[in-house]
Amino acid sequence: DQLEEVFGSKTTITDQNFCGLVETSDGKVEWAIAWTPAGFGDNDGFSRSYCNTIPTPDGGTHEAGFRSAITKGLRNYADLTGNKKGTSITADDIMGHSGLLLSVFIRNPEFVGQTKDKLSTTAAFRLVENAVRDRFDHWLAGSPKEADKLLVWAIDRADERARRRKAKEVSRKSATKKLRLPGKLADCSNSSGNTELFIVEGDSAGGSAKQARDRATQAILPLRGKILNVASATADKMEKNQELSDLLLALGTGFGARFNVDDLRYDKIIIMTDADVDGAHIAALLITFFYKMTPGLIEDGRLYMAMPPLYRLSYKGKTVYAMDDEDKELLMEVEFKPNQKVDIGRFKGLGEMNPGQLKETTMNPETRTLARITLPDSIDELTELRPAELIDTLMGKKVEHRFRFIQENAHFAEDLDI
């Protein structure tokens, strides 16, 4: 009923919506999805998801599991019916212009941040993918006319995506001839949608990231050491800093008054640093750089933080990853039995992960977690300072301002790592 209210009189690709309800010992999944050629105003599609009735406006692992199930299901149907073009459709091809309602009920849900806007429970991905995939396969097989209409529509979207990619590649090749990119940049081969630049801490992690990446869509730029703090550096120092110069060249946007977000060479810029204090410091310096030099990237929602795990928990053939100590304790209770001797490994840095682990936990869009860097109108929880003043207080030259801020706000600290 909710889906019909949202769609109203819009034309749908299929006569029947795909709906379902599955209950297992691991949880409950309920969903409804429909596809329309018209989109929804300024948006291609929309999704409303919930976990234990809590709204998750930023999605999470349950939505990722749903996207994976639908994409794999339609690809499999294309393969079974001998439609070779359909085997290469992407999640964006099939989920674009769709309206999705998704609700899951699971034990011990985990969320990103205190606002609980995004679900991060790994088990939710498997629960939703398995539940939806089985029902979707049956739905496609039982309604071949509906399935064919959906497949043809998705292929048309894939063809349009390919045309846009080709046009963008021609434009990018022309621009690249004029632009000398930094030598240590491992660029991606495509210039279509969903391209990503990973800014990686150190050459060691950079090497692993280059092996773990999708060469078509993911570029790697390793940085050496802590970059310059642009909030306190002189213009002369910034101009001579090689790391910042390389970063600006890779972005392609220019900076300050010459900044143009339309010239950005990637769809996402992802900061990927170690999950420790030093990594957090480097991330803070990079975010300061983006805020001061290219604030339009943040305003346009293009800047993200990768969320690498801190621990690996293994027992026999089973391995799970924990983001922090609290997550580790929770996974020990949920994923393992008390009498099992679980091997616990702590990653001291991204460079300690082999490429397979780095890909699975931090770089693969289907299994990773990203945190988008946003620019609030105000930061009421901590201070009445505007964002610009807050950055200057925390990252600027005047130590006394930073000291006073810490004194006034120390009681808000929940996790202190010294």
140-154 in b/e form (b: 16+ CB < 10 A) is: beebeebbbbbbebb
Q: Which of 257, 292, 308 is the last residue of a domain?
A: 308
Same domain, 184 and 115: no
Rounded mean pLDDT, 357-368: 91
Residue 371 in any domain: the answer is: no
Residue 66 in any domain: the answer is: yes
Same domain, 104 and 219: no
pLDDT band per the 50, 70, 90 thresholds, residue 36: confident
pLDDT, one tens digit per residue, over 8-23 is 667 888 888 899 999 9
Rounded mean pLDDT, 48-69: 94
The confidence score (pLDDT) of residue 72 equals: 94
Nearest of 410, 412, 411, 390 to residue 401 by alpha carbon: 390
Residue 51 in any domain: the answer is: yes
What CATH number should be reported for the domain holding residue 202?
Answer: 3.40.50.670
Residue 15 in any domain: the answer is: yes
What CATH number should be reported for the domain holding residue 88?
Answer: 3.30.230.10
Same domain, 142 and 205: no
Lowest-confidence segment of 65-69, 75-79, 83-87, 386-390 by average pLDDT: 386-390
pLDDT band per the 50, 70, 90 thresholds, residue 26: very high
pLDDT, one tens digit per residue, over 213-235 is 999 999 999 987 678 887 777 66
Number of structural domains in the chain:
3
Same domain, 136 and 194: no
Residue 168 in any domain: the answer is: no
How much is the pTM? 0.55
Angle at which helices 387-395 and 399-409 cross, to 10°: 110
Residue 320 in any domain: the answer is: no
The confidence score (pLDDT) of residue 396 equals: 66
Same domain, 154 and 12: yes
Same domain, 13 and 142: yes
User: Does 373 score more than 60 pLDDT?
Assistant: yes
Lowest-confidence segment of 24-33, 336-345, 368-377 by average pLDDT: 368-377
Compare 256 and 133 and report the one with higher pLDDT.
133
Amino acid residing at 170: V
User: Does 258 score more than 70 pLDDT?
Assistant: yes
Rounded mean pLDDT, 164-177: 57
pLDDT band per the 50, 70, 90 thresholds, residue 378: very low
Rounded mean pLDDT, 175-188: 72
Q: Are 391 and 292 in contact (CB under 8 A)?
A: yes
The confidence score (pLDDT) of residue 416 equals: 60
Same domain, 199 and 143: no
Q: Are 230 and 254 in contact (CB under 8 A)?
A: no
The confidence score (pLDDT) of residue 384 equals: 47
Same domain, 73 and 187: no
Total residue length of the chain: 418
The confidence score (pLDDT) of residue 171 equals: 54
The CA-CA-CA angle for residues 60, 157, 16, to 5°, reads 70
Q: Which of 308, 340, 367 is the last residue of a domain?
A: 308
The confidence score (pLDDT) of residue 236 equals: 66
CA distances from 229 to 198, 305, 392 (A): 20, 18, 11
**DSSP of 353-396:** S-HHHHIIIII-TTT--EEE----S--TTT-SS-HHHHHHHHHS
Alpha-carbon distance of 223 to 282, in angstroms, equals 10
Alpha-carbon distance of 372 to 306, in angstroms, equals 9
| Tokens (6 digits) for 294 | 């290219």
What is the strand order of the sheet 318-322 is part of? 318-322, 311-315, 343-346
Percent with pLDDT over 70 in the chain: 80
Q: Which of 308, 328, 359 is the last residue of a domain?
A: 308
Rounded mean pLDDT, 386-390: 62
The confidence score (pLDDT) of residue 42 equals: 45
Same domain, 215 and 252: yes
Same domain, 133 and 218: no
pLDDT band per the 50, 70, 90 thresholds, residue 68: very high
The chain-wide mean pLDDT, for the chain, equals 83
Question: In the chain, count of helices (H) and strands (E)?
Answer: 14, 15
Residue 122 in any domain: the answer is: yes
Expressed as residue numbers, the domain containing 407 is 378-418
Same domain, 207 and 143: no
Cα–chain center distance at 96:
17
Residue 350 in any domain: the answer is: no
**Which residues lie across from 269 on neighbouring strands?**
197, 303
**Which residues lie across from 33 on neighbouring strands?**
18, 100
Same domain, 136 and 201: no
Rounded mean pLDDT, 318-342: 90
Rounded mean pLDDT, 118-124: 92
The confidence score (pLDDT) of residue 278 equals: 81
The confidence score (pLDDT) of residue 76 equals: 94
